[in-house]
Structure 1
Amino acid sequence: MKSIKHILILFIALTTITTAFAQTTPTKADKKKAQQDAVKALVESQHYTFIAQYANPLGGGHRYLTSDYDLKIRKDSLIAYLPYFGRAYFDTGYGSSDNGIKFTSTKFTYKITAKKKGGWDVIIKPSDVKYMDTVNMYISADGYTNVQFTITNKSAISFDGVLKDKATKK
């Protein structure tokens, strides 16, 4: 009789612990929703960093980037430090011998459009950067991002990567 009593108490204790643990552990869907909410807050705050992982030149293949390249978006500035692979039509004017996309803009427009199936299109038009026409971004709800640069003196290039919070280290 005592052993049945002990087994019953053990069973009730394990059931209670399992139920309590299941209620406090976030589900995969909860984690995904939290990540999507965080990405939405970043996009709307206009204070985030795009970390480039792949370059997609107009005439070439998908190139994995092994160095740290980024595009910092702030309410008052746009700072680009990205490589360039492609054809330059005339002097780049960026003052860089490697023809990368490197500039700081403090005069630009920033327009967000929400997509019906999630994510956002962001159009940035710097007016104080020579040869830079438009920066088009597609940001998925999960933070995966494609950034396209339209440059008047070079062939177009795009980059794939992720968004990071300003406080997040690379």
Structure 2
Amino acid sequence: MKTIKLIFSLFIVLATFKGVLAQTKAEKKAAKQAAVTKMIDAQHYTFVAQYANPLGGGHRYLNSDYDLKVRKDSLIAYLPYFGRAYFDAGYGDSNDSGIKFTSTKFTYKATPKKKGGWDIVINPSDAKYITQINMYVSADGYTNAQFTITNKSAISFDGYLKDKAK
């Protein structure tokens, strides 16, 4: 009889703990989604690239700090490039084939998606060769950023958003 009571008590404790754990997990997810919403609304975040996806194929893990900083008054890109260049990139050093620019003249449009997340379209007018950046942001902050470049094949990056990075 004591064994049955002990097993029953243990079952009750485990069921209660599982409920508390699930609630905590749901609360963490809601807090993260609220933080992402705040970043998008404030137009103040950094996209951290983890993978590069060149147009010709291949999924490359990035082991350095590559990012795109989005602010109301500026865009600052420091990203690698893998793919085909159609003519001289003109980015300065011929060995530097990355996507590196600072823009202060751009349009920015964030459209909420029906099932959560956003479609963001950025059109810099003062970034040489970069015509458009399309970002698809999930409610949790996971992001795919596609770059349309006039002198190179397109490339996209997978990563996540983080708040107010240096």
TM-score by length of 1: 0.83
Residue 60 of structure 1 and its aligned partner are, at CA, apart by 2.2
In 1, Cα distance between equivalents of 2:41 and 2:86: 36
- Of the three residues 60, 63, 66, the one matched with 1:63 is 60
Residue 26 of structure 1 and its aligned partner are, at CA, apart by 5.5
State percent identity of aligned pairs: 76
In 2, Cα distance between equivalents of 1:40 and 1:95: 37
| Alignment match, 2:91 | 94
- 5+ residue gaps in structure 2? 1-12
| Alignment match, 1:3 | none
Residue 92 of structure 1 and its aligned partner are, at CA, apart by 1.0
In 2, Cα distance between equivalents of 1:93 and 1:164: 31
- 5+ residue gaps in structure 1? 1-14
In 2, Cα distance between equivalents of 1:91 and 1:78: 23
Q: Secondary structure at the match of 1:27?
A: helix
Q: Is the aligned partner of 1:153 residue 2:154? A: no
Q: What is the one-letter code of the residue matched to 2:103?
A: S
| Alignment match, 1:137 | 135
| Alignment match, 1:72 | 69
Residue 80 of structure 1 and its aligned partner are, at CA, apart by 0.3
In 2, Cα distance between equivalents of 1:64 and 1:108: 29
Q: Secondary structure at the match of 1:51?
A: strand
| Alignment match, 1:83 | 80
| Alignment match, 1:49 | 46
Deviation track 1:5-52 (CA, whole Å, cap 9, x = no partner) reads xxxxxxxxxx9xxx9xx88x9621111111001001001110100000
Q: Secondary structure at the match of 2:148?
A: strand
TM-score by length of 2: 0.84
